[in-house]
Structure 1
Amino acid sequence: MVAPIEHKQQNDRPRVAWIAGVGASAGLGAALARRFSSEGLTVAVTGRSRDRLAALVDEIRSAGGHAIALAGDVTSESDLAAVARQLAETGTLEAAIFNAAGATRAPTLELTADQFEAAWRVTTFGGFLFARAALQLLLESGHGSLLFTGATASLRGRPPFAAFASAKAGLRSLTQSLAREFGPRNIHVAHVVVDGGIDGERLRTASPQRVAERGADGLLNPADIAHAYWHLHQQGRSAWSQEIDLRPFNEAF
Protein backbone atom coordinates (compact mmCIF):
# COMPACT_ATOMS: atom_id res chain seq x y z
CA MET A 1 0.00 0.00 0.00
CA VAL A 2 1.35 3.39 -1.00
CA ALA A 3 1.21 5.84 1.87
CA PRO A 4 -0.56 9.14 1.11
CA ILE A 5 1.66 12.14 0.64
CA GLU A 6 1.59 14.46 3.63
CA HIS A 7 1.64 18.14 2.80
CA LYS A 8 2.84 20.59 5.41
CA GLN A 9 1.22 23.92 5.90
CA GLN A 10 3.09 26.66 4.12
CA ASN A 11 4.32 29.31 6.57
CA ASP A 12 1.77 28.05 9.09
CA ARG A 13 -1.07 29.14 6.83
CA PRO A 14 -4.30 27.15 7.21
CA ARG A 15 -4.92 24.29 4.80
CA VAL A 16 -8.09 25.08 2.87
CA ALA A 17 -10.70 23.00 1.05
CA TRP A 18 -13.03 24.88 -1.30
CA ILE A 19 -16.39 23.22 -1.97
CA ALA A 20 -18.75 24.70 -4.57
CA GLY A 21 -22.32 23.52 -4.88
CA VAL A 22 -23.31 23.51 -1.22
CA GLY A 23 -26.99 23.68 -0.36
CA ALA A 24 -29.07 21.72 2.09
CA SER A 25 -27.56 20.50 5.34
CA ALA A 26 -28.68 16.97 4.41
CA GLY A 27 -26.87 17.04 1.08
CA LEU A 28 -23.57 15.98 -0.45
CA GLY A 29 -21.98 19.42 -0.44
CA ALA A 30 -22.55 19.80 3.30
CA ALA A 31 -21.29 16.24 3.94
CA LEU A 32 -18.09 17.03 2.03
CA ALA A 33 -17.59 20.16 4.11
CA ARG A 34 -18.00 18.20 7.35
CA ARG A 35 -15.61 15.47 6.22
CA PHE A 36 -12.79 17.75 5.15
CA SER A 37 -13.28 19.92 8.24
CA SER A 38 -12.97 16.82 10.44
CA GLU A 39 -9.50 16.30 8.96
CA GLY A 40 -8.32 19.71 10.11
CA LEU A 41 -8.86 21.76 6.97
CA THR A 42 -10.61 25.10 6.87
CA VAL A 43 -13.57 24.60 4.56
CA ALA A 44 -14.79 27.40 2.33
CA VAL A 45 -18.32 26.68 1.12
CA THR A 46 -19.83 28.29 -1.95
CA GLY A 47 -23.47 28.25 -3.01
CA ARG A 48 -26.30 30.59 -3.85
CA SER A 49 -28.18 30.47 -0.52
CA ARG A 50 -26.44 32.64 2.04
CA ASP A 51 -28.74 31.38 4.79
CA ARG A 52 -27.92 27.73 4.15
CA LEU A 53 -24.20 28.43 3.94
CA ALA A 54 -24.32 30.38 7.21
CA ALA A 55 -26.17 27.54 8.97
CA LEU A 56 -23.59 24.98 7.83
CA VAL A 57 -20.69 27.19 8.86
CA ASP A 58 -22.23 27.64 12.31
CA GLU A 59 -22.68 23.87 12.61
CA ILE A 60 -19.06 23.14 11.69
CA ARG A 61 -17.73 25.81 14.02
CA SER A 62 -19.90 24.51 16.86
CA ALA A 63 -18.28 21.10 16.33
CA GLY A 64 -14.82 22.65 16.69
CA GLY A 65 -14.01 23.00 12.99
CA HIS A 66 -13.11 25.97 10.85
CA ALA A 67 -15.37 27.13 8.04
CA ILE A 68 -16.22 30.24 6.06
CA ALA A 69 -19.15 31.00 3.78
CA LEU A 70 -18.28 32.50 0.41
CA ALA A 71 -21.55 32.85 -1.49
CA GLY A 72 -21.38 32.96 -5.26
CA ASP A 73 -22.75 31.76 -8.58
CA VAL A 74 -20.58 29.12 -10.30
CA THR A 75 -21.65 30.49 -13.69
CA SER A 76 -20.23 33.92 -12.85
CA GLU A 77 -16.56 34.39 -13.64
CA SER A 78 -16.42 37.52 -11.49
CA ASP A 79 -18.04 35.75 -8.51
CA LEU A 80 -15.52 32.91 -8.60
CA ALA A 81 -12.61 35.30 -9.06
CA ALA A 82 -13.75 37.19 -5.95
CA VAL A 83 -14.01 33.93 -3.99
CA ALA A 84 -10.53 32.90 -5.14
CA ARG A 85 -9.11 36.20 -3.89
CA GLN A 86 -10.66 35.61 -0.48
CA LEU A 87 -9.30 32.07 -0.42
CA ALA A 88 -5.80 33.32 -1.14
CA GLU A 89 -6.07 35.54 1.92
CA THR A 90 -7.47 32.71 4.06
CA GLY A 91 -4.77 30.09 3.59
CA THR A 92 -3.28 27.55 1.19
CA LEU A 93 -5.75 25.80 -1.06
CA GLU A 94 -5.24 22.04 -0.85
CA ALA A 95 -8.50 20.64 -2.20
CA ALA A 96 -11.16 22.03 -4.52
CA ILE A 97 -14.44 20.19 -5.12
CA PHE A 98 -17.05 21.04 -7.75
CA ASN A 99 -20.44 19.66 -6.69
CA ALA A 100 -22.81 21.95 -8.59
CA ALA A 101 -25.24 20.71 -11.26
CA GLY A 102 -28.22 21.88 -13.24
CA ALA A 103 -30.67 18.99 -12.85
CA THR A 104 -33.04 19.82 -15.70
CA ARG A 105 -35.63 17.12 -16.44
CA ALA A 106 -38.06 17.24 -19.38
CA PRO A 107 -39.00 15.26 -22.50
CA THR A 108 -36.88 16.49 -25.39
CA LEU A 109 -39.73 18.12 -27.34
CA GLU A 110 -40.80 19.96 -24.20
CA LEU A 111 -37.26 21.00 -23.30
CA THR A 112 -36.70 24.67 -24.08
CA ALA A 113 -33.48 26.08 -25.45
CA ASP A 114 -33.08 28.16 -22.29
CA GLN A 115 -33.44 25.07 -20.09
CA PHE A 116 -30.88 23.16 -22.11
CA GLU A 117 -28.41 26.02 -21.98
CA ALA A 118 -28.98 26.55 -18.25
CA ALA A 119 -28.10 22.91 -17.51
CA TRP A 120 -24.89 23.23 -19.52
CA ARG A 121 -24.07 26.59 -17.97
CA VAL A 122 -24.21 25.36 -14.37
CA THR A 123 -22.72 21.90 -14.87
CA THR A 124 -20.15 22.20 -17.65
CA PHE A 125 -19.37 25.88 -17.97
CA GLY A 126 -19.48 26.30 -14.20
CA GLY A 127 -17.07 23.38 -13.83
CA PHE A 128 -14.67 25.06 -16.24
CA LEU A 129 -14.82 28.42 -14.45
CA PHE A 130 -14.38 26.76 -11.06
CA ALA A 131 -11.44 24.68 -12.28
CA ARG A 132 -9.67 27.69 -13.73
CA ALA A 133 -10.10 29.71 -10.53
CA ALA A 134 -9.01 26.82 -8.29
CA LEU A 135 -6.07 25.73 -10.43
CA GLN A 136 -4.35 29.06 -10.13
CA LEU A 137 -4.28 28.64 -6.34
CA LEU A 138 -3.41 24.93 -6.42
CA LEU A 139 -0.49 25.56 -8.77
CA GLU A 140 0.80 28.25 -6.44
CA SER A 141 0.86 25.73 -3.60
CA GLY A 142 2.53 23.13 -5.83
CA HIS A 143 0.11 20.30 -5.05
CA GLY A 144 -3.52 19.51 -4.32
CA SER A 145 -6.64 17.81 -5.58
CA LEU A 146 -9.37 19.02 -7.90
CA LEU A 147 -12.44 16.77 -7.63
CA PHE A 148 -15.73 16.77 -9.55
CA THR A 149 -19.11 15.20 -8.82
CA GLY A 150 -20.50 13.17 -11.72
CA ALA A 151 -23.61 11.05 -12.11
CA THR A 152 -25.01 8.05 -13.94
CA ALA A 153 -25.79 10.55 -16.69
CA SER A 154 -22.06 11.24 -17.09
CA LEU A 155 -21.78 7.84 -18.79
CA ARG A 156 -25.06 7.42 -20.64
CA GLY A 157 -27.97 9.55 -21.75
CA ARG A 158 -31.63 8.64 -21.51
CA PRO A 159 -34.93 10.51 -21.55
CA PRO A 160 -36.05 12.76 -19.93
CA PHE A 161 -32.51 13.82 -19.08
CA ALA A 162 -31.12 15.03 -22.43
CA ALA A 163 -29.94 18.35 -21.00
CA PHE A 164 -28.56 16.92 -17.76
CA ALA A 165 -26.80 14.01 -19.46
CA SER A 166 -25.12 16.11 -22.12
CA ALA A 167 -23.95 18.60 -19.50
CA LYS A 168 -22.60 15.87 -17.20
CA ALA A 169 -20.86 14.13 -20.10
CA GLY A 170 -19.24 17.44 -20.99
CA LEU A 171 -18.03 17.86 -17.41
CA ARG A 172 -16.54 14.36 -17.47
CA SER A 173 -14.60 15.13 -20.65
CA LEU A 174 -13.40 18.36 -19.09
CA THR A 175 -12.00 16.48 -16.08
CA GLN A 176 -10.09 14.10 -18.36
CA SER A 177 -8.53 17.04 -20.19
CA LEU A 178 -7.60 18.70 -16.91
CA ALA A 179 -6.12 15.49 -15.50
CA ARG A 180 -3.87 15.03 -18.51
CA GLU A 181 -2.75 18.66 -18.43
CA PHE A 182 -2.26 19.21 -14.71
CA GLY A 183 -1.46 15.74 -13.35
CA PRO A 184 2.19 16.16 -14.43
CA ARG A 185 2.16 19.42 -12.46
CA ASN A 186 1.23 17.56 -9.26
CA ILE A 187 -2.49 18.38 -9.27
CA HIS A 188 -4.71 15.32 -8.80
CA VAL A 189 -7.84 15.73 -10.93
CA ALA A 190 -10.54 13.12 -10.39
CA HIS A 191 -14.17 12.56 -11.35
CA VAL A 192 -16.63 10.71 -9.11
CA VAL A 193 -19.56 8.96 -10.81
CA VAL A 194 -22.36 8.92 -8.24
CA ASP A 195 -24.47 6.11 -9.70
CA GLY A 196 -27.70 6.11 -7.74
CA GLY A 197 -29.95 8.25 -5.61
CA ILE A 198 -28.40 10.23 -2.77
CA ASP A 199 -30.17 9.94 0.56
CA GLY A 200 -30.52 13.68 1.07
CA GLU A 201 -33.09 16.42 1.41
CA ARG A 202 -33.77 16.75 -2.31
CA LEU A 203 -34.70 13.12 -2.90
CA ARG A 204 -36.54 12.70 0.38
CA THR A 205 -38.67 15.75 -0.45
CA ALA A 206 -39.28 14.97 -4.12
CA SER A 207 -39.70 11.20 -3.94
CA PRO A 208 -40.36 9.83 -0.44
CA GLN A 209 -41.87 6.66 -1.94
CA ARG A 210 -38.63 5.88 -3.75
CA VAL A 211 -36.70 6.37 -0.52
CA ALA A 212 -38.97 3.89 1.27
CA GLU A 213 -38.75 1.35 -1.55
CA ARG A 214 -34.95 1.34 -1.62
CA GLY A 215 -34.69 0.17 1.98
CA ALA A 216 -31.67 0.25 4.28
CA ASP A 217 -28.49 1.31 2.48
CA GLY A 218 -30.37 1.33 -0.82
CA LEU A 219 -29.47 4.98 -1.37
CA LEU A 220 -26.04 6.56 -1.25
CA ASN A 221 -25.29 7.99 2.19
CA PRO A 222 -23.75 11.48 1.76
CA ALA A 223 -21.21 10.83 4.54
CA ASP A 224 -20.08 7.63 2.82
CA ILE A 225 -19.67 9.48 -0.48
CA ALA A 226 -17.66 12.18 1.28
CA HIS A 227 -15.36 9.52 2.72
CA ALA A 228 -14.56 8.38 -0.83
CA TYR A 229 -13.67 11.96 -1.81
CA TRP A 230 -11.31 12.19 1.16
CA HIS A 231 -9.69 8.92 0.08
CA LEU A 232 -9.12 10.38 -3.40
CA HIS A 233 -7.56 13.46 -1.87
CA GLN A 234 -5.22 11.28 0.18
CA GLN A 235 -4.07 8.97 -2.63
CA GLY A 236 -0.35 8.71 -3.17
CA ARG A 237 0.58 10.09 -6.57
CA SER A 238 2.14 6.82 -7.74
CA ALA A 239 -1.41 5.42 -7.95
CA TRP A 240 -3.90 8.20 -8.61
CA SER A 241 -7.47 7.45 -9.69
CA GLN A 242 -8.84 9.69 -12.42
CA GLU A 243 -12.34 8.29 -12.04
CA ILE A 244 -14.19 6.17 -9.52
CA ASP A 245 -17.83 5.11 -9.36
CA LEU A 246 -19.99 4.76 -6.27
CA ARG A 247 -23.34 3.00 -5.98
CA PRO A 248 -25.47 1.22 -3.37
CA PHE A 249 -24.95 -2.52 -3.01
CA ASN A 250 -28.32 -3.25 -4.61
CA GLU A 251 -28.13 -0.79 -7.50
CA ALA A 252 -28.39 -2.33 -10.97
CA PHE A 253 -25.64 -1.38 -13.41
Structure 2
Amino acid sequence: MTEAVGSKQTGTESGTRLAWIAGVGASAGLGAALARRFASEGFSVAVTGRSRERLDAVVAEIRATGGHALALSGDVTSESDLNAIARQLAEHGTLEVAIFNAAGATRAPTLELSAEQFEAAWRVTTLGGFLFARAALQPLLAAGRGSLLFTGATASLRGRPPFAAFASAKAGLRSLAQSLAREFGPRNIHVAHVVVDGGIDGERLRSSSPQRVAERGPDGLLNPDHIADAYWHLHQQGRSAWSQEIDLRPFNESF
Protein backbone atom coordinates (compact mmCIF):
# COMPACT_ATOMS: atom_id res chain seq x y z
CA MET A 1 0.00 0.00 0.00
CA THR A 2 1.46 3.32 -1.06
CA GLU A 3 0.29 6.87 -0.93
CA ALA A 4 -0.78 8.45 -4.18
CA VAL A 5 -0.02 11.80 -5.78
CA GLY A 6 1.27 14.66 -3.73
CA SER A 7 3.02 14.87 -0.43
CA LYS A 8 1.78 13.50 2.84
CA GLN A 9 -0.97 15.40 4.54
CA THR A 10 -0.16 16.85 7.93
CA GLY A 11 -2.31 14.33 9.68
CA THR A 12 -0.38 13.65 12.82
CA GLU A 13 -2.41 16.26 14.61
CA SER A 14 -5.08 14.66 16.73
CA GLY A 15 -7.67 17.12 15.41
CA THR A 16 -7.52 15.78 11.83
CA ARG A 17 -10.74 13.95 11.03
CA LEU A 18 -10.37 10.97 8.72
CA ALA A 19 -12.84 9.20 6.46
CA TRP A 20 -11.74 5.87 4.99
CA ILE A 21 -13.60 4.63 1.91
CA ALA A 22 -12.94 1.16 0.50
CA GLY A 23 -14.22 0.34 -2.96
CA VAL A 24 -13.22 3.46 -4.89
CA GLY A 25 -12.88 3.20 -8.64
CA ALA A 26 -13.80 5.58 -11.43
CA SER A 27 -14.32 9.28 -10.75
CA ALA A 28 -17.87 8.88 -12.05
CA GLY A 29 -18.71 6.23 -9.45
CA LEU A 30 -20.17 6.08 -5.96
CA GLY A 31 -16.87 5.54 -4.14
CA ALA A 32 -15.38 8.70 -5.64
CA ALA A 33 -18.58 10.65 -4.93
CA LEU A 34 -18.40 9.58 -1.28
CA ALA A 35 -14.78 10.72 -1.11
CA ARG A 36 -15.62 14.13 -2.59
CA ARG A 37 -18.59 14.57 -0.23
CA PHE A 38 -16.66 13.93 2.95
CA ALA A 39 -13.67 15.92 1.71
CA SER A 40 -16.01 18.87 1.13
CA GLU A 41 -16.94 18.70 4.83
CA GLY A 42 -13.32 19.08 5.92
CA PHE A 43 -12.37 15.44 6.28
CA SER A 44 -9.04 14.07 5.16
CA VAL A 45 -10.18 11.22 2.95
CA ALA A 46 -8.34 7.94 2.43
CA VAL A 47 -9.46 6.00 -0.63
CA THR A 48 -8.82 2.30 -1.10
CA GLY A 49 -9.21 0.21 -4.23
CA ARG A 50 -7.26 -2.05 -6.55
CA SER A 51 -6.54 0.41 -9.38
CA ARG A 52 -3.72 2.76 -8.44
CA GLU A 53 -4.39 4.87 -11.53
CA ARG A 54 -8.01 5.47 -10.61
CA LEU A 55 -7.19 6.19 -6.98
CA ASP A 56 -4.59 8.73 -8.07
CA ALA A 57 -7.17 10.44 -10.28
CA VAL A 58 -9.71 10.74 -7.45
CA VAL A 59 -7.08 12.05 -5.02
CA ALA A 60 -5.84 14.60 -7.56
CA GLU A 61 -9.40 15.74 -8.20
CA ILE A 62 -10.06 16.32 -4.49
CA ARG A 63 -6.76 18.11 -3.92
CA ALA A 64 -7.38 20.34 -6.95
CA THR A 65 -10.44 21.74 -5.16
CA GLY A 66 -8.54 22.37 -1.92
CA GLY A 67 -9.46 19.12 -0.16
CA HIS A 68 -7.22 16.60 1.55
CA ALA A 69 -6.99 13.03 0.28
CA LEU A 70 -4.59 10.14 0.06
CA ALA A 71 -4.65 6.85 -1.80
CA LEU A 72 -3.95 3.65 0.10
CA SER A 73 -4.33 0.84 -2.40
CA GLY A 74 -5.15 -2.64 -1.21
CA ASP A 75 -7.29 -5.74 -1.57
CA VAL A 76 -10.39 -5.85 0.65
CA THR A 77 -10.12 -9.65 0.79
CA SER A 78 -6.66 -9.37 2.39
CA GLU A 79 -6.67 -9.00 6.16
CA SER A 80 -3.02 -7.97 6.14
CA ASP A 81 -3.65 -5.23 3.53
CA LEU A 82 -6.52 -3.72 5.49
CA ASN A 83 -4.72 -3.88 8.83
CA ALA A 84 -1.68 -2.21 7.28
CA ILE A 85 -3.87 0.57 5.88
CA ALA A 86 -5.50 1.08 9.28
CA ARG A 87 -2.04 1.48 10.83
CA GLN A 88 -1.08 4.01 8.18
CA LEU A 89 -4.24 6.00 8.84
CA ALA A 90 -3.22 6.42 12.47
CA GLU A 91 -0.31 8.54 11.22
CA HIS A 92 -2.69 10.98 9.57
CA GLY A 93 -5.28 11.68 12.24
CA THR A 94 -8.31 10.15 13.92
CA LEU A 95 -10.62 7.85 12.00
CA GLU A 96 -14.22 9.03 12.30
CA VAL A 97 -15.97 7.49 9.30
CA ALA A 98 -15.37 4.15 7.58
CA ILE A 99 -17.37 3.21 4.47
CA PHE A 100 -17.35 -0.18 2.77
CA ASN A 101 -18.38 0.24 -0.86
CA ALA A 102 -16.73 -2.80 -2.49
CA ALA A 103 -18.69 -5.58 -4.18
CA GLY A 104 -18.09 -8.62 -6.34
CA ALA A 105 -20.67 -8.16 -9.09
CA THR A 106 -20.67 -11.71 -10.46
CA ARG A 107 -23.42 -12.30 -13.01
CA ALA A 108 -24.22 -15.70 -14.56
CA PRO A 109 -27.09 -18.21 -14.82
CA THR A 110 -26.88 -20.62 -11.93
CA LEU A 111 -25.95 -23.67 -14.00
CA GLU A 112 -23.16 -21.68 -15.61
CA LEU A 113 -21.94 -20.22 -12.33
CA SER A 114 -18.79 -21.90 -11.08
CA ALA A 115 -18.00 -22.51 -7.43
CA GLU A 116 -14.97 -20.26 -7.86
CA GLN A 117 -17.12 -17.39 -9.14
CA PHE A 118 -19.62 -17.85 -6.33
CA GLU A 119 -16.87 -17.83 -3.71
CA ALA A 120 -15.17 -14.82 -5.30
CA ALA A 121 -18.36 -12.76 -4.99
CA TRP A 122 -18.63 -13.74 -1.33
CA ARG A 123 -14.98 -12.96 -0.67
CA VAL A 124 -15.12 -9.42 -1.99
CA THR A 125 -18.58 -8.49 -0.72
CA THR A 126 -19.11 -10.36 2.55
CA LEU A 127 -15.69 -11.43 3.76
CA GLY A 128 -14.30 -8.08 2.59
CA GLY A 129 -16.94 -6.25 4.61
CA PHE A 130 -16.08 -8.29 7.69
CA LEU A 131 -12.32 -7.72 7.34
CA PHE A 132 -12.83 -4.00 6.68
CA ALA A 133 -15.08 -3.68 9.71
CA ARG A 134 -12.55 -5.38 11.97
CA ALA A 135 -9.75 -3.13 10.74
CA ALA A 136 -11.83 0.03 11.08
CA LEU A 137 -13.49 -0.76 14.40
CA GLN A 138 -10.25 -0.71 16.38
CA PRO A 139 -9.48 2.99 15.69
CA LEU A 140 -13.17 3.93 15.88
CA LEU A 141 -13.50 2.34 19.30
CA ALA A 142 -10.25 3.95 20.42
CA ALA A 143 -11.71 7.32 19.45
CA GLY A 144 -14.92 6.49 21.30
CA ARG A 145 -17.21 7.40 18.42
CA GLY A 146 -17.69 7.22 14.67
CA SER A 147 -19.68 5.76 11.80
CA LEU A 148 -19.27 2.44 9.99
CA LEU A 149 -21.36 2.42 6.83
CA PHE A 150 -21.98 -0.30 4.23
CA THR A 151 -23.24 -0.06 0.66
CA GLY A 152 -26.02 -2.50 -0.12
CA ALA A 153 -28.12 -3.10 -3.22
CA THR A 154 -31.52 -4.33 -4.36
CA ALA A 155 -29.94 -7.79 -4.13
CA SER A 156 -29.45 -7.28 -0.38
CA LEU A 157 -33.20 -7.77 0.01
CA ARG A 158 -34.19 -10.16 -2.76
CA GLY A 159 -32.41 -12.45 -5.16
CA ARG A 160 -33.15 -13.24 -8.77
CA PRO A 161 -31.29 -14.76 -11.70
CA PRO A 162 -28.64 -14.26 -12.96
CA PHE A 163 -27.44 -12.76 -9.66
CA ALA A 164 -27.40 -15.77 -7.31
CA ALA A 165 -23.79 -15.13 -6.22
CA PHE A 166 -24.18 -11.37 -5.91
CA ALA A 167 -27.48 -11.59 -4.03
CA SER A 168 -26.27 -14.14 -1.50
CA ALA A 169 -23.12 -12.09 -0.87
CA LYS A 170 -25.05 -8.83 -0.46
CA ALA A 171 -27.58 -10.49 1.84
CA GLY A 172 -24.68 -11.72 3.94
CA LEU A 173 -23.23 -8.22 4.12
CA ARG A 174 -26.60 -6.88 5.28
CA SER A 175 -26.78 -9.46 8.07
CA LEU A 176 -23.23 -8.59 9.06
CA ALA A 177 -24.17 -4.90 9.30
CA GLN A 178 -27.15 -5.75 11.49
CA SER A 179 -24.99 -7.84 13.80
CA LEU A 180 -22.35 -5.12 14.07
CA ALA A 181 -24.98 -2.46 14.78
CA ARG A 182 -26.31 -4.44 17.72
CA GLU A 183 -22.84 -5.10 19.06
CA PHE A 184 -21.19 -1.72 18.59
CA GLY A 185 -24.08 0.76 18.68
CA PRO A 186 -24.02 0.65 22.49
CA ARG A 187 -20.32 1.52 22.23
CA ASN A 188 -21.12 4.73 20.35
CA ILE A 189 -20.34 3.43 16.85
CA HIS A 190 -23.11 4.15 14.35
CA VAL A 191 -23.34 1.15 12.02
CA ALA A 192 -25.69 1.55 9.07
CA HIS A 193 -26.48 -0.23 5.81
CA VAL A 194 -27.59 1.68 2.71
CA VAL A 195 -29.75 -0.19 0.20
CA VAL A 196 -29.06 1.38 -3.19
CA ASP A 197 -32.22 0.11 -4.89
CA GLY A 198 -31.62 0.82 -8.56
CA GLY A 199 -29.02 1.56 -11.17
CA ILE A 200 -26.34 4.13 -10.38
CA ASP A 201 -25.73 6.77 -13.01
CA GLY A 202 -21.99 6.15 -13.17
CA GLU A 203 -19.28 5.03 -15.53
CA ARG A 204 -20.00 1.31 -15.21
CA LEU A 205 -23.67 1.51 -16.20
CA ARG A 206 -23.13 4.16 -18.87
CA SER A 207 -20.46 2.05 -20.56
CA SER A 208 -22.19 -1.33 -20.23
CA SER A 209 -25.86 -0.36 -20.77
CA PRO A 210 -26.18 3.03 -22.49
CA GLN A 211 -29.64 2.05 -23.71
CA ARG A 212 -30.82 1.63 -20.13
CA VAL A 213 -29.54 5.11 -19.26
CA ALA A 214 -31.49 6.57 -22.18
CA GLU A 215 -34.64 4.63 -21.27
CA ARG A 216 -34.64 5.78 -17.66
CA GLY A 217 -34.61 9.46 -18.56
CA PRO A 218 -33.67 12.43 -16.34
CA ASP A 219 -33.24 11.42 -12.69
CA GLY A 220 -34.31 7.88 -13.54
CA LEU A 221 -31.03 6.51 -12.23
CA LEU A 222 -29.45 7.18 -8.85
CA ASN A 223 -27.09 10.15 -8.95
CA PRO A 224 -23.85 9.23 -7.10
CA ASP A 225 -23.59 12.69 -5.52
CA HIS A 226 -27.14 12.41 -4.18
CA ILE A 227 -26.38 8.98 -2.75
CA ALA A 228 -23.30 10.43 -1.08
CA ASP A 229 -25.48 13.12 0.52
CA ALA A 230 -27.46 10.35 2.22
CA TYR A 231 -24.27 8.85 3.69
CA TRP A 232 -23.29 12.25 5.03
CA HIS A 233 -26.70 12.67 6.67
CA LEU A 234 -26.35 9.22 8.25
CA HIS A 235 -23.07 10.28 9.78
CA GLN A 236 -24.69 13.48 11.08
CA GLN A 237 -27.60 11.74 12.82
CA GLY A 238 -27.95 12.24 16.55
CA ARG A 239 -27.52 8.99 18.43
CA SER A 240 -30.98 9.17 20.01
CA ALA A 241 -32.40 8.48 16.53
CA TRP A 242 -29.88 6.46 14.52
CA SER A 243 -30.94 4.69 11.34
CA GLN A 244 -29.59 1.17 10.99
CA GLU A 245 -30.77 0.92 7.39
CA ILE A 246 -32.05 3.30 4.75
CA ASP A 247 -33.06 2.63 1.16
CA LEU A 248 -32.62 4.92 -1.82
CA ARG A 249 -34.29 4.71 -5.23
CA PRO A 250 -35.23 7.05 -8.09
CA PHE A 251 -38.54 8.89 -7.95
CA ASN A 252 -40.03 6.89 -10.83
CA GLU A 253 -39.48 3.43 -9.38
CA SER A 254 -42.62 1.44 -8.60
CA PHE A 255 -40.88 -0.36 -5.71
TM-score using structure 1 length: 0.96
Paired amino acid for 1:86? Q
Paired amino acid for 1:17? A
CA apart distance, 1:251: 1.2
Paired amino acid for 1:222? P
Separation in structure 1 between the aligned mates of residue 14 and residue 67 of structure 2, nearest angstrom: 17
- Give per-residue Cα distances to partners, 1:94-137, cap 9 Å, x unaligned: 00000000000000000000000000000000000000000001
Separation in structure 2 between the aligned mates of residue 202 and residue 160 of structure 1, nearest angstrom: 18
Paired amino acid for 1:81? N
- Pairs within 5 Å for 1:120-135: 120-135=122-137
CA apart distance, 1:11: 5.9
| Cross-structure match for 2:4 | none
Separation in structure 2 between the aligned mates of residue 74 and residue 20 of structure 1, nearest angstrom: 7
| Cross-structure match for 1:174 | 176
- Pairs within 5 Å for 1:18-57: 18-57=20-59
Paired amino acid for 2:217? G
Residue 84 (1) aligns with residue 86 (2) = yes
Query: How well do the aligned residues superpose, as a CA RMSD in angstroms?
Result: 1.1
| Cross-structure match for 1:163 | 165
Separation in structure 2 between the aligned mates of residue 109 and residue 30 of structure 1, nearest angstrom: 35
Matched residue of 1:44: which SS? strand
Separation in structure 2 between the aligned mates of residue 209 and residue 59 of structure 1, nearest angstrom: 29
Find the partner of 1:17 among 16, 19, 36: 19
Residue 252 (1) aligns with residue 254 (2) = yes
| Cross-structure match for 2:110 | 108
User: Which 5+ residue runs of structure 2 have no aligned equivalent?
Assistant: 1-10
* Alignment length (residue pairs): 245
Taking structure 1 as reference, are residues 133 and 12 closer, same or farther at Cα in structure 2, changes over 3 Å only?
A: closer
Find the partner of 2:155 among 153, 156, 162: 153
- Give per-residue Cα distances to partners, 1:207-243, cap 9 Å, x unaligned: 0000000000000000000000000000000000000
CA apart distance, 1:10: 10
Moved over 6 A (4+): none
Separation in structure 1 between the aligned mates of residue 65 and residue 111 of structure 2, nearest angstrom: 49
Find the partner of 1:233 among 207, 232, 235: 235
| Cross-structure match for 1:5 | none
Asked if 1 retains the 8 angstrom alpha-carbon contact of 2:155 and 2:171, the reply is yes
Matched residue of 1:249: which SS? coil
TM-score using structure 2 length: 0.95
Matched residue of 2:117: which SS? helix
Paired amino acid for 1:65? G
CA apart distance, 1:12: 4.1
Asked if 1 retains the 8 angstrom alpha-carbon contact of 2:192 and 2:243, the reply is yes
Paired amino acid for 1:194? V
- Give per-residue Cα distances to partners, 1:44-91, cap 9 Å, x unaligned: 000000010011101100100000000000000010011001011110
CA apart distance, 1:22: 0.1
Separation in structure 2 between the aligned mates of residue 143 and residue 31 of structure 1, nearest angstrom: 24
Separation in structure 1 between the aligned mates of residue 103 and residue 253 of structure 2, nearest angstrom: 22
Taking structure 1 as reference, are residues 12 and 135 closer, same or farther at Cα in structure 2, changes over 3 Å only?
A: closer
Matched residue of 2:247: which SS? strand
| Cross-structure match for 1:4 | none
Matched residue of 2:90: which SS? helix
Separation in structure 2 between the aligned mates of residue 57 and residue 12 of structure 1, nearest angstrom: 22
Separation in structure 1 between the aligned mates of residue 209 and residue 235 of structure 2, nearest angstrom: 32
CA apart distance, 1:13: 3.0
Matched residue of 2:147: which SS? strand
